[in-house]
Amino acid sequence: MASLDIVWQTFRPEEGFYTTETRTPSPLPIRTFAPVGYEPRYPYPLIVFLHGQGGNDEQILRLAPRVSRRNYVSIGLRGPVCLGPNKKGALGFSWGDSSHYDMIEDYLLEAIRQTRSHYHIHSERIYLAGFAEGAILAYRMALSFPEKISGVIALNGCMPREDRPLLRFPEVRSLNVFIGHGIANSVVPMDMVHEDHRLLYSTGMNVSMQTYNTNHKLHRDMLRDMNRWIINNFAG
């Protein structure tokens, strides 16, 4: 498992998107959004965006400036399974199955470590934000090593139903969870999300749930509420 211990650099990047790769034998992409007015002495929260099935790292990271152009450093990662071109002609990816979990865990932790070596990231403000299939992965990774992750943001997604990771007590109680879900979502029905909410709440986690007048698509207010939730989360 990759270590997250780093020494961050004191440079001032321009606001915008940057693409790098993991420094591993088989490099994997790290798509980064640097906030406007980046201040190297300020420890920023880090949002790790995880795309849904058929998405990719570039597509999901476009959400970052819509959440906030100033408040966070954000990265987008890419699933290991290529599904071919999507409806817009770009390559789409999936996070695969249990045979990919070890590789994804190493990829995620190495991407966080490398980001923290370039940007001043608060070690206790690292959030996994997943859409649809990406939300399943966000839950899985956070529950696997809750001591390294501050919170999960699940947008139109749910907890794993197969090979569900064990709830590690008392470590999981430190996790914070924001659930944003469309009330007309037929892909991930509300009953599943209510079940997740009850389970997470019963463990003692800090769980917030908001519903929106949409289906499986993102509602603009999800991103607004996500921003408010993160700010209130670490402000409190």
Predicted confidence at residue 6, as pLDDT, reads 59
Predicted confidence at residue 57, as pLDDT, reads 97
Examine residue 5 and state whether it is found in any structural domain, yes or no. no
Predicted confidence at residue 180, as pLDDT, reads 98
User: Could you read off the pLDDT of 36-94 as tens digits, one per residue?
Assistant: 999 999 999 999 999 999 999 999 999 999 999 999 999 999 999 999 998 888 999 99
Examine residue 17 and state whether it is found in any structural domain, yes or no. no
Within 8 A by CB and 6+ apart from 221, the residues are: 212
Examine residue 6 and state whether it is found in any structural domain, yes or no. no
187 has pLDDT over 50: yes
**Residues 115, 23: contact at Cβ < 8 Å?**
no
Domain count, the chain: 1
Instruction: Give the mean pLDDT of 206-230.
Output: 96
4 has pLDDT over 60: no
Examine residue 2 and state whether it is found in any structural domain, yes or no. no
Residue pointed to by tokens 């954000």: 74
Distance set, CA 149 to CA 67, 68, 83, 124, 183 (Å) = 19, 20, 29, 7, 28
Closest to 119 (Cα-Cα) out of 49, 50, 2, 38: 38
The helix/strand/coil state of 221 is: helix
Examine residue 75 and state whether it is found in any structural domain, yes or no. yes
Closest to 196 (Cα-Cα) out of 145, 128, 147, 140: 140
Examine residue 209 and state whether it is found in any structural domain, yes or no. yes
Q: Which residue has the higher pLDDT, 25 or 156?
A: 156
Examine residue 1 and state whether it is found in any structural domain, yes or no. no
**Would you give the distance in Å from CA 185 to the centre of its chain?**
20
Predicted confidence at residue 1, as pLDDT, reads 42
Integer Cα distance of 57 and 137 in angstroms: 14
Closest to 169 (Cα-Cα) out of 143, 141, 149: 143
CATH of the domain at 149: 3.40.50.1820
Domain limits at 84? Answer: 28-235
* 8, two tokens: 């961050």
Within 8 A by CB and 6+ apart from 195, the residues are: none
**Burial class of 98 by CB neighbour count within 10 A (0 to 12, 13 to 18, 19+):** exposed
Examine residue 16 and state whether it is found in any structural domain, yes or no. no
